[in-house]
Structure 1
Amino acid sequence: MTLNQELLDILACPKCKGDLDLVGNKDGLKCAGCALVYPIREEIPVMLIDEAIPVQDWDKGVREKK
């Protein structure tokens, strides 16, 4: 799964407007400021605050909100 670098350059965290970084296995975008990960599903970043997953949960393997 590869996101276009131009898209990555313009995306910002919808909550704090901070920078986002791809997580290790490239299935999420992490905001260090908010400690949230926005999942990437079917090559589309889900940039909804309600769908974001806390980093600590993401690190435990959680990939979807319940």
Structure 2
Amino acid sequence: MDKKLLNIIACPICNKKLNFDLIRKELICEFDSVAFPIKDGIPILLRDSSYPIKKR
């Protein structure tokens, strides 16, 4: 994931910073405990595409 892009994009639900999970290849919003998939290198930042994650 491009670090410049990570500095620009935000969670579409709460507008907070997203973290990149290198192992799962997804973007994580720790605040909302949701993940957003990355398909073919493109982050899918739609509410409907998010899925819940366990708090870490």
Give the TM-score normalised by the residue count of structure 1: 0.76
In angstroms, what is the RMSD of aligned CA positions?
1.1
Greater radius of gyration (CA): 1
Residue deviations 1:4-63, cap 9 Å, x none? 11001111000000110011415100001110000011100000010001013xxxxxxx
One-letter amino acid of the structure 2 residue matched with residue 53 of structure 1: Y
Residue 39 of structure 1 corresponds to which residue in structure 2?
Answer: 37
Return closer, same or farther for 1:8/1:37 CA change in 2, 3 Å cut-off: same
Give the TM-score normalised by the residue count of structure 2: 0.88
Write the distance in 2 (CA, Å) between the matches of 1:11 and 1:42: 17
Number of corresponding residues: 54
Q: Which runs of 5+ in 2 are unaligned?
A: none
SS at 1:25 equivalent: coil
Q: Which runs of 5+ in 1 are unaligned?
A: 57-66
Taking only the aligned residue pairs, the percentage that are identical comes to 31
